[in-house]
Amino acid sequence: MNIENTQSQMRKGILEFCILSIIKRGEAYPSDIAEEMKGAGLHILEGTLYPLLTRLKNSEMVTYRWEESSGGPPRKYFPLRKKGKVFTGSCSKHGTNFQAQSIH
């Protein structure tokens, strides 16, 4: 088993869950997602964030909409889709169960 590959896959899963959890509270602009994650101690670069958002969009967890900006190019906002809401709820439930089982 390749530990580096396992760690990479775990990190991607955690990052996806964190991104979805942020978007679940309301549609989000990518730089706002990055700032919130940074505030939580999870530094994520745009080169990591945008591919994850694209993967989440392709798996129908999120969608996006364009909004005109008064000071530059249009902005892409990401709201959560129904599939993303179900997924985050399921992950939260299983995470809580996993933590409880790990403690005992």
Query: What's the rounded mean pLDDT across residues 17-32?
Result: 93
Q: How many CB atoms lie within 10 A of CB 24?
A: 18
Residue 63 predicted with pLDDT over 90: yes
Residues 73-91 have pLDDT tens digits of: 999 999 999 999 998 888 7
Alpha helices in 25-81 (DSSP H): 30-39, 46-58
24: pLDDT strictly greater than 60: yes
What domain range is 54 assigned to?
Answer: 3-103
When divided into structural domains, the chain yields a total of: 1
Q: CATH no. for residue 38?
A: 1.10.10.10
